[in-house]
Amino acid sequence: MSDLYREHILDHYANPRNWGRLESPDIAADADDPSCGDQVHLEIDLDSEGRVARVAFEGEGCIISMASASIFTEHIKGKTLAELEAINEEEVLRILDAPVGSGRRRCALTPLRALQAGLKAYRKQQAQQT
């Protein structure tokens, strides 16, 4: 593992961006990985145009899952719901910008699973209101 990779991941783990909770999020969801214990709670506020205005997360887990959640929250700011729905595993691994072995892939993808669960619940809630 290169020192640059190690510094990048450790910085996001030690100093997570967007850590905490939002007062009244439009989207909120949890994801976990029972095999290793990683947990991520993700919250999103949308602006009047349906873009991510604010995002926050909390969680517990390994360095990879927590660093990935921090990097992920930075990445989704300003995105539309359609752009959020289009994010796939390869994109998350690319923005992590670190070699992730097969054993840590699930850890790195925990924030994506939280987003997907949140979007599904949000779309269901919106459909029920119309």
Q: Note the pTM of the prediction, 2 decimals.
A: 0.92
Q: Alpha-carbon distance 54 to 79, whole Å?
A: 11
Q: Which domains does the chain have, with CATH numbers?
A: 3-129 (3.90.1010.10)
Alpha-carbon distance 76 to 73, whole Å?
5
- pLDDT tens by residue, the chain, 130 residues: 456 568 889 999 999 999 999 999 999 999 998 888 999 999 999 999 999 999 999 999 999 999 999 999 999 999 999 999 999 999 999 999 878 888 889 999 999 999 999 999 999 999 998 7
CB atoms within 10 A of CB 103: 9
Distance (Å, rounded) from C-alpha 36 to C-alpha 128? 35
